[in-house]
Chains A and B, each alone.
Chain A
């Protein structure tokens, strides 16, 4: 008998003789029981009967398990597979006991299967009546009350059955079988015409009585799968066994409703939503160990040793009120944990913390956390740090403190999860979509309707670039083109993949501001960081290399290595603002890889990995001498290698040049900020009016960008609030992927070629393809700012102007002539010729005297002999030092390096 075989297979050591003996016993007892039932049966409800019968049957099973070394009360999923064969026909050998297939306990240990089966053997007549009544094989898995044909649930189940039947091809049946759950898309379910017609108030019912509805869904799926399998089995078996009805034993399948709407903010989880189905989003902050949760517990009556099982709802422990044996009625019970009737599932608690973004940032609250209880297959679906969307039923738990003291009535809310979607999991799915999806695959932000309206409102504003520029750090006056470039950096270009295996071309522009102290560079960085959807601000003088890239730390307790992300990695797909860039020292090297390859590699302690760092670097630096020396090049003004410098798309000089009208407006601006508690006038009405007039001007953009960005006199701009701007930017970054149109490409090409031709000379090549790429990136960003899918000619022209501005600043000498020999790269030096001559002379000198070290005095005298006349001789020497020609050995002592 295959039932016995399966019993041995699963339970292990139960001997054949023993089992046979038991069978005999069971038969005897079974007869007794039947007699009792004959008397009692009519008085009881059907469900109860069924339950009880199984309990009685299982009493012996318990014995078997104990004898056989405890096949485990943790019945475990998978036990239903019977003898371990594939498919759902676990109990195939039970042949003529069809009722068994309904198997009240899906996870019943197979070790006890044979005993139980034989024990129940004699109650076939009764069971079959029940079976005939209830067409649903899995009814008892889902409902505690018996099947009543007139119940409204049945109607719903029928509808859901139809729904699932129509979609059965979409489901992976093996996967469902393995997981014990099926994913149901809420949007699809409620959008289905048939379902909507049959159950018009499905949404409210799902919201208000989620448990019943989810059980209905579960029963329906169960039924559909069972029928499907019956069909398959029939086909397979064909005529071989014409009289045997195949036994289909499908476990409890839970319906996991995902995509549920609306999303409830965590802080709105109040007593009013108790018992409702809600959907919340947050960061997982704690995950407990996986534990068994008892869903059904067996109890042995102390009076008559009868065993009965009781479903434990919501994990609450309860004892039976009285023994159901008519003559016993005892009230004392002992829980039997090793009984196969005791049924457990995996269970885990996670803690989800509210996401604080946007306006929530400013409220000064501690973000709220909520506990979520995960069951069976949901366990281990997330780790701390994941952002998850949990759909679940709101329940309350008595606070643990109440145990032993029933007087304190305090409850805490928790969610009993019906589905958990991990945004990390979605990432891999959407990552398979090819082009353009890389950028938006993670950190997808959801936008509420209100926010979408705001975004639309912002987009409809005329002169949007100007508005955004003016909203960016309004406390700082002027520097409009710099702000415009910052705005473009915020929006960013598109990352391009030429083909699968090549290194992607980065889409994130980098920007460097060099300038005199006291112009508000730090403040601009802070402001940009503040409106960036993801912004990290670090200060160069208080960070280390690993603080920028990755730290490998060893956990003191476990000795495991752990990676700790630095600023660049944290700012992935965002903005990394580095203040005091010049104070980074040798850590600048760490940036080389991150800035071009957009990744950070690590090879330490046996860990070799590469982490994404798709970030825009916005840096601010102070010149060496405190004030920028226009006579020197950027490289000379900063202690910075040309390799790093060339990675910046745009370099701006912020110079403090006295200019009366500028100073006046600046002071006005500062005073307006400072004067008392008065606010800046917010004249929305005037703005709209005036912009209607001026907007004509924007059409034919004859005016240079710098002028277009300025607010005409007498007009005031109402800046976009930071939280809205942040939303707008993240929307643009997520959904807009512009391409450059041919005319725009022509403009960029012309500009690039003109730069190339101008710069074409023997030893200065400052213009490389990097600059062309920068132009494209910024042009895309310019289009993105207006939420346009194509970058037009005017976009390109704007970018060219910004670029020109940055180039003029960096390449012009004191007189304002563009001099490309004064490259921003190290190879160019303003005093190049002088320097070269000096170095050559020093080489000669060194050969003659065999002396490689020079003090400043000797250097001076050599220079004098060569008739090198420079204003700042020490500056020349120090620049040679930086270029690597001279090595500073001590105070006023230099050593010539061999070249």
Chain B
């Protein structure tokens, strides 16, 4: 008997229990693998995965406990493995009949467990603390939500009127969130916070209000929201890394019994139970947050995501050659459109627009020894400081890339923000920091916010951490007694007035074509191309897709590039060094890819040389302008 679609989504545990029961008389039945295969196969069939409700866009109290849900998330922390009863026996108190039960994919066992049974099998599982992808932009969230075919059916425990209100409110919030920049002026954040608490109220109407207020959900970025989740992993947990982004399909568990409860234990037990000491209480509180805020998810199947762009087909590119061929042919024209648009945004500077595109498609593709290859940190200097230009620029980038974060490098932020994640041994968790980001997140550093003042020790550390990210694409997590390097892949864009104090792979000065007197007017006229959303979507697909292309340099071209380099050195050794060659090669790589070409052509190489020359001249101008630079 095959269970119907609704069955395996709404009652996956029944399916599992059935398979478990069937396998009982067969030794080595491998039922566990069969369960995983069952769900994997069913999810693949005719878009079945769109029927699975997602924790990302359906509020928790709309979801049915013990049903199959999905969650697009970021692995923020990994806890120590835990042990559970994989198979156990229950005794019916009235009939004394013994029944074998399966404890997998469940948090809570049935009543009447026979702890002394010989049939008990202890098994191990790993817990990941997952949060929504940090810095994921609203358009991504909306787009994913619109793909879902789930009709939200309110669960029975709430009055419908209340749900209706909360739903509306949420929509309001979404709109609100879109309009405001994440680190905007204080009035905005206040509004934000109000919204937050309201939302929490509607989300968690049960008894956990009090605990919710002081529970830190440990999001990497300040001002983030959304459900975080404790994902229990049963198979192959070594294949997941910290900071991976995954789409988890699993069984939702919201049993309130799982929360750390108030400790009203009697004195006797506190004397004897080792787990109840004060030192461990904090850890317990952290590891067992209320399920209404942090539900548990028992992973059945998970997909590692290479990107979180909802517009790309979910299948791998090789399998979808038609999609690839159509977009490849369009690439050059899409790029031209995007270039025109960005030129408009960057005050009419075509060169800066070109470099900005290269920056947006860059990604670390490999590491050679300690050197990450493929990163392309861009320093856009000469940004006007009127009419919050940089914020506007960020809002535009936000519309283009799936995840991004705006970090105003104000003195206060630098001295107070925690950029580097730090292990908290009291709660035994990794306190997140701004630099704990998923791959290809665009980090927008606004140096125009920098004012005079003194950086304190934390500030100096933060600047060093930023420098490390830019130069080596690694973050040294603070484990108190030692540091641990975690490689990252973050695109850093620095906007500044003069040359940035941080190192950058490429520095370009914006050559504004706009008259100073009209600047404010011009900037306020820069608009999002919202009305042509199909065009916007094209841009989004383009930027994500280019990253996935392969690239190579043929032997002929290699030869001529080498010749070129030797010649250039002959003419003027001061003008070009090995570092310059590295930069030109990365520019050449990105430029070719941006045009959809998967190998370097001589034409592109010439274009790169010309672009670099032009760029240098803009910096020379800046130096002359500033006088005693260096």
Q: Is A294 in contact with B271, judged by CB distance below 8 angstroms?
A: yes
Structural contact, B561 and A412, CB atoms closer than 8 A: no
Contact B284 A517 (CB under 8 A): no
> Which residues of A (337-366) have their CB < 8 Å from a CB of B?
337, 349, 351, 353, 356, 361, 363-366
A289 to chain B, nearest CB (A): 7
Asked if A542 and B460 sit within 8 Å, CB to CB, the answer is yes
B88 at the interface (CB under 8 A from A): yes
Interface residue ranges of B253-289 to A (CB < 8 Å): 257-261, 265, 268-269, 271-277, 279-280, 284, 288
Please tell me if B113 contacts chain A, counting CB pairs below 8 Å.
yes
Q: How far is the CB of B598 from chain A (nearest CB, A)?
A: 9
Please give, as numbers and ranges, the residues of chain B lying within 8 Å of A677 by CB-CB distance. Answer: 365-366, 550-552
Stretch with Cβ within 8 A of B (4 or more), from A139-147, A200-208, A663-671: A663-671
Q: Which residues from 99 to 115 on chain A have a C-beta closer than 8 Å to any C-beta of chain B?
A: none
Q: Is the CB of A676 within 8 A of B550?
A: yes
Q: Residues of B within 8 Å of A, CB-based: how many? A: 93
Are A676 and B551 touching (Cβ within 8 A)? Answer: yes
Q: Is there a chain A Cβ closer than 8 Å to B426's Cβ?
A: yes
B110 interfacial contact with A, CB 8 Å = yes
B558 within 8 Å of A (CB atoms): yes
Chain B residues, CB < 8 A from A430: none
Asked if A373 lies at the interface with its beta carbon under 8 angstroms from chain B, I say yes
A403 touches B273 (CB 8 A): yes
Given contacts A399-B82, A674-B585, contact A520 B579 (CB under 8 A): yes
Across-interface contacts of B103 in A (CB, < 8 A) = 409
Residue A173, interface by CB 8 Å: no
What's the nearest-Cβ distance from chain A to residue B423, in Å?
8
Contact A286/B110 with A364-B486, A370-B80, A397-B274 known, Cβ cut-off 8 Å:
no
* A223 at interface by CB-CB < 8 Å: no
In the assembled complex, the Cα of A343 lies from the Cα of B82 at a distance in Å of 32
Main secondary structure of the interface of B (DSSP, over half): mixed
Given contacts A364-B243, A526-B370, A658-B570, contact A518 B271 (CB under 8 A): no
A335 near B: Cβ within 8 Å?
yes
- Which listed residue (B113, B259, B275) contacts A409, Cβ 8 A? B113
Residue pair B460, A544 in contact (C-beta under 8 Å)? yes
Task: Report how far A312 CA is from B271 CA in the complex, Å.
Answer: 12
Most interface-central of A317, A385, A473, A658 (chain B CB within 10 A)? A658
Say whether B577 faces chain A, with CB atoms less than 8 Å apart: yes
Tell whether, in the assembled complex, residue B467 and residue A412 are in contact, meaning their CB atoms are under 8 Å apart: no
> Judging by beta carbons under 8 Å apart, are B558 and A675 in contact?
yes
Chain B CB within 8 A of A724 CB? no
User: Given that A285-B425, A410-B84 are known contacts, is A626 also in contact with B630, CB under 8 Å in the complex?
Assistant: yes
A543 CB within 8 Å of chain B: yes
Residues of A within 8 A of B279 (CB): 286, 288-289, 349
Chain A residue at minimum C-beta to C-beta distance from B268:
A335
Q: Which residue on A lies nearest to B274, using beta carbons?
A: A315
Q: A285-B480, A627-B574, A664-B566 are in contact. Are A271 and B124 (CB under 8 A)?
A: yes
B566 contacts A317, CB within 8 Å? no
What residues of A have a CB within 8 angstroms of the CB of B479 in the complex?
353, 367
State whether A361 and B484 are in contact (beta carbons under 8 Å apart), knowing that A368-B80, A678-B552 are contacts in the complex. yes
Q: Which residues of chain A from 403 to 443 have a CB within 8 Å of any chain B CB?
A: 403-413
Residues 699-711 of chain A: 1 if any B CB is under 8 Å from the residue's CB, otherwise 0?
A: 0000000000000
B423 contact set on A, CB distance < 8 A: 285
Which of A297, A365, A367, A477 is within 8 Å of B578, CB to CB? Answer: A477
Indicate if A450 sits at the interface (CB-CB under 8 A): no
| In contact, B578 and A369 (Cβ under 8 angstroms) | no
Q: Mark B17-28, 1 if CB is under 8 A from A, else 0.
A: 000000000000
A475 touches B368 (CB 8 A): yes
- B83: which A residues are within 8 A, CB to CB? 271, 396, 410-413
Given known pairs A285-B480, A288-B279, A366-B78, the reply for A408 and B258 (CB within 8 Å) is yes
Tell yes or no: A214 within 8 A of B by CB: no
Query: Which of A315, A364, A475 is within 8 Å of B273, CB to CB?
Result: A315
Which residues of B in the span 603-624 have a Cβ within 8 Å of any Cβ on A?
A: none
Please give, as numbers and ranges, the residues of chain B lying within 8 Å of A666 by CB-CB distance: 578, 581
Whether a CB of chain B sits under 8 angstroms from the CB of A261 is no
Mark interface residues in A707-743 (1 if CB within 8 Å of B CB, else 0). 0000000000000001000000000000000000000
* B341 CB-CB contact with A under 8 Å: no
Counting CB contacts under 8 A, is A516 at the interface? yes
Does B550 contact A317, Cβ atoms closer than 8 Å?
A: no
**CB within 8 Å for A291 and B467 given contacts A335-B268, A411-B84:** no
Chain A residues in 8 Å Cβ range of B480: 285
B77/A676 in contact, CB under 8 A: no
Taking A286-B426, A658-B569, A658-B573 as contacts, is the C-beta distance between A400 and B280 under 8 angstroms?
yes
Minimum CB–CB distance from A881 to chain B (whole Å) comes to: 17
Q: Verify B258–A364 contact, CB threshold 8 A.
A: no
* Closest CB in chain A relative to B475 CB, distance in Å: 12
Q: Is the CB of A286 within 8 A of B460?
A: no
Question: Is there an interface contact between A542 and B463, defined as CB atoms closer than 8 Å?
Answer: yes
Q: How far is the CB of A578 from chain B (nearest CB, A)?
A: 13
Interface residues as binary, A852-881 with B (CB distance below 8 Å gives 1, 0 otherwise): 000000000000000000000000000000
Residues of chain B contacted by A285 (CB below 8 angstroms)? 423, 425, 480-481
A530 at the A/B interface (Cβ < 8 Å)?
Answer: yes
Interface residues of A in 297-314 (CB under 8 A from B): 297, 312
B272–A405 touching, CB < 8 Å: no
Min CB distance A628 to B, Å, is: 12
Are B581 and A364 in contact (CB-based, < 8 A)? no
The interface residues of chain A lying within 8 Å CB-to-CB of B565 are 663, 667
Which residues, 575 to 615 on B, are CB-close (under 8 Å) to A?
577-582, 585-586, 589
Bits for A535-569, please: 1 = Cβ < 8 Å to B, else 0. Answer: 00001001110010001000000000000000000
Contact call B366/A671, Cβ cutoff below 8 A: no
The answer on a CB contact under 8 Å between B109 and A542 is no
With A366-B78, A547-B460 already in contact, the answer to whether A408 and B368 are too (CB < 8 A) is: no
A747 interface residue (CB < 8 Å to B): no
Interface residue from B243, B260, B566 paired with A660 (Cβ < 8 Å): B566
Q: Does B108 contact A (CB under 8 A)?
A: yes
Most-contacted residue by chain A among B85, B124, B284, B566 (CB, 10 A): B566
B183: which A residues are within 8 A, CB to CB? none
Q: From known contacts A335-B268, A667-B562, infer whether A517 and B430 are also in contact, taking CB-CB under 8 Å.
A: no
- B85 touches which of A351, A365, A406, A409 (Cβ 8 Å): A409
Contact, CB under 8 Å: B108 / A288: no
Is A671 touching B558 in the complex (CB atoms < 8 A)? yes
1/0 per residue, CB under 8 A from B, across A499-530: the answer is 00000000000000000111110110011001
Q: Closest CB of chain A to B570's CB: distance in Å?
A: 7
The answer to the question of A657 belonging to the interface, with a C-beta cut-off of 8 Å to chain B, is yes
Chain B residues within 8 Å of A408, by CB: 107-109, 257-258
Centre residue among A315, A399, A664 by max chain B CB count within 10 A: A399
| Smallest CB separation, A890 vs chain B (Å) | 14
Q: Contacts A370-B80, A410-B83, A673-B373 hold; do A283 and B482 have CB atoms under 8 A apart?
A: yes
How far does the alpha carbon of A544 sit from the alpha carbon of B464 in the complex, in Å? 12
Which of A283, A516, A522, A527 meets B481, CB within 8 Å? A283
Which of B244, B257, B428, B589 is close to A674, meaning CB atoms less than 8 Å apart? Answer: B589
- Chain B residues lying within 8 Å of A364, measured Cβ to Cβ, are 241-244, 486-487
A659 to chain B, nearest CB (A): 8
Report if A604 contacts B (CB, 8 A): no
Bound Cα distance from A270 to B276, whole angstroms: 23
Q: Does B123 contact A (CB under 8 A)?
A: yes
Tell which of A519, A523, A527 touches B577, judged by Cβ atoms closer than 8 Å: A519
Give the 9 A-B residue pairs with the shortest CB-CB distance, closest first: A364-B241, A518-B579, A400-B275, A317-B272, A518-B577, A658-B573, A676-B552, A411-B83, A667-B562
Sample (17) of A-B pairs whose CB atoms are under 8 Å apart: A286-B279, A286-B425, A286-B426, A292-B271, A315-B273, A349-B279, A363-B238, A366-B242, A398-B275, A405-B257, A407-B109, A516-B577, A526-B370, A527-B370, A543-B460, A663-B569, A677-B365
Task: A474-B369, A475-B368, A516-B577 given; name 4 further pairs at CB < 8 Å.
Answer: A285-B425, A407-B113, A519-B579, A673-B373
